[in-house]
Chain A
């Protein structure tokens, strides 16, 4: 629906007065927008925005299944941890994901190596990610 697309645009700070309502006109902007997405800080902004966007009205957090779907959308191929993370969440039967966890998972994906050797357990990472790392580290040690 158009209303969604308009909101989408305004989040990127792109002042596009979309007075037109023709799908073709909007589609014409696509190449330009695709290029914007290659900018990592814009990508991150989009990623963070999508959390609030996807929430149910009146709810603070995002149901885990929705979060997983979104994660695949955004981070497939970009995060070395994605599959294990989703598996971990399902095993743990986590019901919802907080905004903080959502946001930090992006940083986690970008900064932390696949073998998690540069992860600081006493750092500022959310507890859920700590638990993930601990579970995975325990697994690889076996």
Chain B
């Protein structure tokens, strides 16, 4: 380089003159350099040490490039590499073809070559960077190495196939449980990626082999193993495959591969897995197995099938529960248990999945209504038992929890009016016989019912409570009102005044009461009607109970009895022995009721009377006598459990009442609708009724009511169109 420079004052000028003659380029420089490079390359390829220093080589190459002779040097390097690759690959062709040995050979060759090429590249780095990388159509050395190897490899008849075969074979062995050389596979996998052969040649065959493998395995296993074991096995397999992908396969393979495995093991067998295995798991509440099922089926998008199995299971078990008449006594407990079980499975195995929660509700609603009326009645009875005194079962919190669960069941029932009728009847009994365990519990239950049934229902219940409260006040006022002399009579009587519309329907019954009681009743009536004019009082003696003192040989006893029982017993104040007919005549009690009463006094646990003959049935020829030798370890004895027990007739009559009430409601609704709409077609009327009425109705039920209304001239059929009704004002 030459150049002029000027510098500051006093600086000496430095002048560099160009060379007079160009330096002679060593004519053989190129050839000499090539020889050096070639020798270095061959030595590298032969794994021998190189005699020249690296710097020397590096510099030589650099000189060549500077001289613009890079192209031909490159070409010679390229050819030398090509020859080497050809030799290497050729050596493999004749190599042994057995699996592991072959793979190892390939791997060794490959790692050697890559190492060697890297080394060579470093030597001719200058060439690589300044020429190869910058010139169009010329590959950088590393890429050149790959391209050459690839080309040679692909041309090498069956080598590519043998390699893939070998790799797949190793993978299969590992799947079969053998320990294999993972490092080897890793290297080969990287090799294939580098050569752009991984996705082209290896992966497709890997996926195919995987499918085939798991297809066979699933068929075999499903037949031989229990479902829960099978699922555990699937989970293990999936984990192992994921691990394998991470260990020696390309990361891009994982998703596709796992999908294939999932499909073969799970998705295609989903139905048989569930058919064979779901019910036993659910039955035994095997939560972790069920959770596994959920997890695995979620992966293959088969949750709908799982949900269907769950639904079918609940319906099957629930339906059997509900429809087995022999098991009515335990139906409610078992329903609660079933709901608990379903909820536990939902929360712990099905991850609180909302759609599964919905399916539980749907299943319950279906099977609980597969039997009309009885479930509602039994639930009401269950609640009654829990709210009654003497129920030792639970603490306040436990009771609260049980009632909440009951309400959940209740919500599923379509004919809620049946429950309401029984609940009201039982509540009435509890109130009238002072049998409520806890006022708070009653109130709590009422507020739950208010939410479910609406205020219309609970207003009546609240009315019942108020009547009882009010009756206490009235009773106190009554006692104050009675003049001193008659106090004793008045104190006999404790009256509950029931507002008719709130309470269940009661009928007055025939009975000849003793004078004392009649006088006391009349006195009360006087008092009451003076206080509240414009009202009518009806004595319902079936609901009454009293305490009698009985004098026996071995001592006095007090008896808590029903009015009927009392009236019968009082007859024996005048006679030691009476025939059935005499008792019937003197008490005026109706036959069936009288028989029941007599049985309760003579044949049941507490035998205050003796029955002749001592059979279990009362015949009209029977005789009864006072049992003077009666004893009991208690002083105060209850015999009034008749009132608390519900007879079959009572139950039937309650059911009947509900049905009749429904008919009335249908009639009222039809009239209401027709009054507004004037003219309606049959289907429209029916649709409107289903909208307005909340209890189950059949089309026949509705038709019968319509016909009845036609007969009573509320409606008529349109003259030219009998399927249309007109309102008759």
- Assembled-state Cα–Cα distance A9/B46 (Å): 133
Known contacts A100-B710, A126-B707; decide if A107 and B722 are in contact (CB<8 Å). Answer: yes
A123 near B700 (CB under 8 angstroms)? no
B722 touches A127 (CB 8 A): no
Bound-complex Cα distance A127 to B710 (A): 13
Chain A residues with CB under 8 A of B707? 98, 100, 126-127
In the bound complex, CA of A107 to CA of B717 (Å): 12
Kindly state whether residue A55 has any CB partner on chain B within 8 Å. Answer: no
CB neighbours of B699 from chain A (8 A): 121-122
Q: Would you list which residues of chain B between 687 and 729 have a CB under 8 Å from chain A?
A: 699-700, 703-704, 706-707, 710-711, 717, 722-725
Asked if B162 lies at the interface with its beta carbon under 8 angstroms from chain A, I say no
Flag if B711 contacts A123 (CB, 8 Å).
no
Closest chain A residue, CB of each to CB of B716: A100
- Cβ of A15 within 8 Å of any chain B Cβ, yes or no, is no
Cβ A124 vs Cβ B700 within 8 A: no
Contact between B682 and A123, CB atoms less than 8 A apart: yes
Residue A42 is within 8 A (CB to CB) of chain B in the complex: no
| A104 lies within 8 A of B703 (CB) | no
Q: Tell me which of A60, A122, A124 has the highest count of chain B C-beta atoms within 10 A of its own C-beta.
A: A124
Which residues on the B side are within 8 Å of A123 (C-beta)?
682, 723
Question: Quick one: closest B residue to A104, CB to CB?
Answer: B722
Instruction: Tell which of A98, A100, A124, A130 touches B723, judged by Cβ atoms closer than 8 Å.
Output: A124
- Quick check: B717 and A100 within 8 Å, CB to CB? yes
Give complex CA distance A3, B706 in Å. Answer: 36
B711 with A124: CB separation less than 8 A: no
Q: Which residues of B contact A99 (CB under 8 A)?
A: 711
- Smallest Cβ-Cβ distance to B686: which chain A residue: A122
Among A103, A121, A122, contact of B722 (Cβ-Cβ < 8 Å): A103
Chain B: residues with Cβ within 8 Å of the partner, total of 17
Take A130-B700, A130-B703 as given contacts and tell me if A124 and B682 are in contact as well, using a CB distance cutoff of 8 Å. Answer: yes
In the assembled complex, the CB of B705 is this many whole angstroms from the nearest CB of chain A, namely 10
**Bound CA span A12–B80, Å:** 124
Question: Which A86-130 residues have C-beta < 8 A from chain B?
Answer: 98-100, 103-104, 107, 121-127, 130
Which one, A98, A103, A130, contacts B717 given CB within 8 A? Answer: A103
The CA-CA distance from A60 to B712 in the complex, in Å, is 10
- Nearest residue, chain A, Cβ from B715: A100
**Chain B 666-697, CB within 8 Å of chain A: the 1/0 string?**
00000000000000011100100000000000
> In whole Å, how far is B725's beta carbon from the nearest beta carbon of chain A?
8
Main secondary structure of the interface of B (DSSP, over half): helix
How far is it, in angstroms, between the C-alpha of A107 and the C-alpha of B724 when the chains are bound? 13
Residues of B within 8 A of A125 (CB): 703
| Shortest distance between the CB of B701 and any CB in chain A (Å) | 10
Give the CA-CA distance A98 to B704 in the complex, in Å. Answer: 12
Within 8 A of A (CB), among B433-455: none
B253 to chain A, nearest CB (A): 61
In the complex, chain A residues whose CB is within 8 Å of the CB of B686: 122
Within 8 A of B (CB), among A1-35: none
How far apart are the CA atoms of A121 and B700 in the complex, in Å? Answer: 9
Nearest CB on B from A45, distance (A): 10
Asked if B711 and A100 sit within 8 Å, CB to CB, the answer is yes
Contacts of A104 in B (CB 8 A): 717, 722
CA distance A52 to B399 in the complex (A): 64
**How many angstroms between the C-alpha atoms of A7 and B160 in the bound complex?**
112
Chain B residues positioned under 8 Å from A107 (CB to CB)? 722
Contact A60 B703 (CB under 8 A): no
Cα–Cα distance between A124 and B702 once the two chains are bound (Å): 10
B711 and A60 form a contact (CB under 8 A):
yes
Q: Which residue of A lies closest to B703 (CB)?
A: A127
Of B683, B703, B724, which is within 8 A of A126 by CB?
B703
The chain A residue sitting closest to B685, CB to CB, is A124
* Shortest CB distance B683–A (Å): 8
The smallest beta-carbon distance between A94 and chain B, in angstroms, is: 14
B722 — which chain A residues lie within 8 A by C-beta? Answer: 103-104, 107, 124
Closest A residue, CB atoms, query B725: A124
A136 nearest CB across to chain B (Å): 17
Q: Which of A60, A100, A103, A127 contacts B700 (CB 8 A)?
A: A127
With a CB–CB cut-off of 8 A, which chain A residues contact B681? 124
Q: When chains A and B are docked, how far (Å) is the Cα of A122 from the Cα of B711? A: 20
Would you give the shortest CB distance from A132 to chain B, in whole angstroms? 13
Instruction: Tell me the bound Cα distance from A2 to B476 in angstroms.
Output: 79
The CA of A107 and the CA of B721, in the complex, are separated in Å by: 10
Residues of chain B lying within 8 A (CB to CB) of residue A130: 700, 703
A contact residues around B704 at 8 Å (CB): 127
- A124–B722 Cα distance when bound, in Å, is 7
For B493-524 the 0/1 string (1 means CB < 8 A from A) is 00000000000000000000000000000000
Report how far A98 CA is from B706 CA in the complex, Å. Answer: 13
A60→B710 CA distance, assembly (Å): 12
* Chain A hits for B725, CB < 8 A: 124
Chain B residues numbered 206-224 whose CB sits less than 8 Å from any CB in chain A: none
| Residues of B with C-beta under 8 A to A122 | 683, 686, 699
Residue of A at shortest CB range from B706? A124
Contacts of B724 in A (CB 8 A): 124
Chain B: which residue is nearest A100 at the CB level?
B710
Chain B residues with Cβ below 8 Å from A103 are 717, 722
Task: Give min CB distance, B451 to chain A, whole Å.
Answer: 35
Bound-complex Cα distance A122 to B710 (A) = 18
In whole angstroms, what is the CA distance A124 to B703 when docked? 7
- Other than the known A122-B686, A125-B703, what 16 A-B pairs have Cβ atoms closer than 8 Å? A60-B711, A98-B710, A99-B711, A100-B711, A100-B717, A103-B717, A104-B722, A122-B683, A124-B681, A124-B682, A124-B723, A124-B724, A124-B725, A126-B703, A127-B704, A130-B703
- B interface, CB within 8 angstroms of A: 681-683, 686, 699-700, 703-704, 706-707, 710-711, 717, 722-725
30 contacts between A and B (CB under 8 A): A98-B707, A98-B710, A98-B711, A99-B711, A100-B707, A100-B710, A100-B711, A100-B717, A103-B717, A103-B722, A107-B722, A122-B683, A122-B686, A122-B699, A123-B682, A123-B723, A124-B681, A124-B682, A124-B703, A124-B706, A124-B717, A124-B724, A124-B725, A125-B703, A126-B703, A126-B707, A127-B700, A127-B703, A127-B704, A130-B703
- Which A positions have Cβ atoms within 8 angstroms of B? 60, 98-100, 103-104, 107, 121-127, 130
10 tightest Cβ-Cβ pairs between the two chains A and B: A124-B682, A124-B723, A100-B710, A122-B699, A127-B703, A107-B722, A127-B704, A126-B707, A98-B711, A104-B722
